[in-house]
Structure 1
Amino acid sequence: MSISMPIQCDHNPYADEQFDIIDSLDYDDVDAGLIDHELVHRQREALVHQLHASEQAYLESLNLLNKIFLQPIRKSSKQSSFNFLGVKKMICTEREIRWLFGNFDDILKIHTEILTSLEERLSIWGPTQIVSDVFQAWFPLLKKVYTTYLDNYDVSVTTYERLTRYQPFKKFVDSAHKDPVLKGATLLSLLQIPAGCVSRHAQLIAKLADATSPMHPDYGGLAKSKQQAIALFDEIRIKVEDADNVDQVLMIQQALVGAPFGVKSQRRLVLQGQLFHTPAVNAKSAKEVRTYLLFSDMLVFVRPKQEGKKTLLQYKGHIILDRARIRPLSPEETGGLQHCLEITSSFQGVDTFNSTYVGSPTVHVMQAQTAEEQQHWLNQLDFVITKLDREAAAATKCRFLFVYTHRSRFGTKKHLR
């Protein structure tokens, strides 16, 4: 009789460990590489979608500006031009439309094309998809339209401020602002948005380039696109900063109470701060803290006041800096007061609708808190006054040449007769 013995399999205690080693050296590395590759792809895809969403939102704001404001204003202008009896006043003239909106039509057209090109590329998007060629086609167009738009920006903003004091325009804008589709946006805020477009593109394209692996087929193209985008922004950076300054000047103008002057397209904010106003040059005079606003053409002094949630600037006076003179005052001249400076103005008067009247020279004394602050104000005031003097001299020379040329031609014609 045979006895069946159970079959025993000897277990190799090293077998699992060997496979663990193999797994750790091979399969885990493959999986980790695939995961890393997938994460990079997802990050790039997310950035491209972010750029698309950003461009889509921007184009929506452009379309709002076009639909709610520009088109109705244009329609009103054309209809009112036929109304010679003047029964219905136009919102603004065609020339004012050009001043207000600049080359907005070109911007709208180009960004419609930009969004379309981006969507076409996204429709075939994949891990190795190239997009830098699309970006590089944008840059020449963006440079042209935004250089023009920013060059006109000060004219646009000052035209807006002036038109808000014209009742038909104000009535139209106030009514348009009630449209719920605007979601709180205003004509002014929509006009301000394009100033930040090139910066937005540069930031997003730079992020996409940085998130792209050197092994990706679009790595070189995106690196070039990043350089071009940053170079474009650097090229127009001064214009963007100037547009920001124009916005600051408008905000100050809107906060001023009782000021007898309006905005000028050439006016820029140079410096602002609190100084003591000294009515007379002696230590016994009562001093008053005032906020001084140094612009590129005049010095304005105000007193801030709160009305509800709004901060207003109560107008206290201003000094026209054209042909003004400034000097530091010693304590001996001020009865012991330190850090004082004196401005002597050749003009004093009102600048209403960009006009002034000439009055007698005035002397204004201000006191800084430190010697450094005094010197800083002296430097900035001297810079503004010197520039105004230089511009006035150039204008006088041009007028002289014009008159001389005109008289010479007139004299020649008279002689020929």
Structure 2
Amino acid sequence: MDLAKPIPLLNDFLCCKNIKLFLDVCRNHFKVRESDLFDPNMLYDLTNFHLKDLIPMKTFTKTYTPQYFDHISQNGSLSVEDENSDITNENGTENTEDYIEDTVSVLSETIDDEKPPVQNIGSVPSTTTTTTKTTTTNKITGKVSNAPPLGLSTRSASSSGMGNLDFNSSHDCSNQQLQKVAATVYNYQQIDADDLGHEYLNAIYSEEDEKVYEDLCYVTFSSHKVSEVTNDNVACNGHVDEHINTKEEEVYQDLCALQRTSRSQITSATSFEQRDYVIRELIDTESNYLDVLNALKTKFMAPLERYLNPEELRQIFPRIKELADIHTKFLDKLRDSLQSHAKVKMSQVFLEFREPFLIYGEYCSCLLGAIDYLADICKKNQIIDQLVQVCEREYNVGKLQLRDILSVPMQRILKYHLLLDKLVKETSPMHEDYRSLERAKEAMIDVSQYINEVKRDSDHLVIIQKVKDSIIDLHLPQNGNDLLQYGRLLLDGELHIKAHEDQKTKLRYAFVFDKILILVKPLNAKAGDMQYRFRDSHNLNEYRVEQSHSRRTLGRDTRFKYQLLLARKSGKTAFTLYLKSEPERDKWRKALTEAMENLDPPGCRNTDHKMEIFTFDAPTTCRHCSKFLKGRIHQGYRCKVCEIAVHKGCISSTGRCKQTTVSIPPPVCDRKLAEFNWFVGNMDRETAQIRLERRRVGTYLLRVRPQGASNPNETMYALSLKTDENVIKHMKINRDYHGDNVTYCLSTRRGFKSIVDLVSYYERNDLGENFAGLNQSLQWPFREIYGTAIFDFEPQGTNQLQLKAGCQVLIIGKDGDDRGWWRGKVGDVVGYFPKEYVQMQPPTSDEL
């Protein structure tokens, strides 16, 4: 059901829509008279709402256990008890206590008369109940429901420790009675548990879902230490929820097709290090996960293809085939990386699949819709419903429903960075893959955060569309009426506004987006219809916000007495906003300030880039930090001139603006860099790190940094040198200006007329004068091209290289090609030789 919004966050608009939905149910389903209903804003504002003497609902004798929201919201959303603590009577406000009390009393009597009764909803299951019994069934609708009442006051549901609730008993807080009544109404509304189940990805799946994932994917070892990673519920920002889920061994044995070996058996057969166990866990769980994806394809999708068209299958199984293909290749490469002479390390496999894994953003965004669509189509079509049940029985003896299995991919993608974190901890810092594993872990955290933000923004796009639909005559003259172009909805609510050229104060409902402030007025005099007429809009980049000195308002409505000043930067006009409380004023000031800073980031003052907040259509990485720009709305910033893309926090490090994003040719003095085997062109730091890890100590390359220079004293070039088995040193090349002359250097200790001269010098001398303790020279150019001497050559100068027929020559560069000379290395001696004296051999390593 898409009417109720279980996660309204701090959104007044959605909260009031949920309250209105509650009243509509009272009116249409329970036939409560209009005169017995209260106004939505009365409950939301909680004005004089202090239910000290709520009429006991003695007629409501049936017991049930709804799962309703905690009274104190973690995110600060509206809670009944939050506002009751400090309520004062104010002039000009309507007393709502009688309205609410009457509605609850009438509703309680009405519920008691409903047939069939709701005692069959069930009670809270014990912790030993299997996963198929943890939800309750509404006998009226026949649908699973463990929903909280309205979702108007918190983010998460509380379902433990409640016991059976009896409305004959007295309760300490009468506000709880109101929420219990609302819970009953909510159950009547045919709302599946999964309508509320996923609060983005940092709390996106329940403990039950976690059990499903572990039953399907995890290998059970006798050592708890080995599997400690698997018991964590992962958040996309890298944090871990602290609850631990129990595994059901019986379900695991039924679902895991592969033979598992206990740890004691493994230990007796071979000598394993702790690191080996983590790697085995990673490979085996990946294999099990691939089995799940293939089962979704062959055991569910294939039978359903006879009854459902491709579009219907796509809605129920979004991108499952693509995920199966991706993970088939992923598992093959993981296994290849474990071979004794593997060309690619495990860390590189994760880095390679960093971008393909972004498909999970779409999958997680579609998951709730897929589960809802599956439930709906099974309800309407008995044949499909029975077929799905048959498939479930064939796959796992009916212990898990298809809807449960569909959540496994979402959970798996959140496990990778935990497994890599465990692998890093069990890997010695001296291990050849240690640093790359750290980068792989960071890459998987980045992927998880990207998926999280895509899911969040997908939900947000729905909210924005509902806001647009609620304004019947929206007219935004600047750039059209598509609200998506104005970014995220930061805040909305009721306020009073007064233009300084007009002394009349007007009551308006306001929506604050990233780029615009929209003011509307309720369509009808009766509040709660959630339909508005457009009144005005203001581009926030034209304004600044200031805190006005508050004076107690002498007007009729003294609720709005805390002021903010919204003034045009041009000084032509200004508005005063009146809010109900000091916290409300602070909230509006924060939202407006955030919007204005998004449009004009402080980091722009440190660069000449012309940055604008921008929505990117395809996954894009930040030019500075190489991490993904996350989400679907205003993911980051793009320069209007050179079109580089960056995070807001990276703007100040982007350096000087270039006129184009295409590869910039080297300076004139270095036009011939491509002739050298150590020059690789455009390459970021991460790629250079990976390429050099497989090479011998002393191998070096010169690269063009994609992000360019970050200050006028830097060049776009950097040297990368392997200085030890596990260390890659990256060195920016700087420049100094002396009148019209430019010198290039690694430090102020020594300058060179060209970059070629700089590289040539440090091929013969170590880098210790620039970096303390770095007693390493540039020994082996990245592209190793060898030749065989076909004639003897005796050098005539100190810069020439002696050749003996048949000797191997490492060709360093062809910078003297136009004069018939190449530069090479034999042993530890570097020099020039006649190019006709050497016959080229095919390259033996990476060619770029």
TM over 0.5: no
Which of structures 1 and 2 has the larger relative contact order (alpha carbons within 8 angstroms, sep 6+)?
Answer: 1
TM-score by length of structure 1 reads: 0.44
What's the TM-score once normalised by structure 2's chain length? 0.23
Q: Which structure's residues are more often helix, by fraction?
A: 1
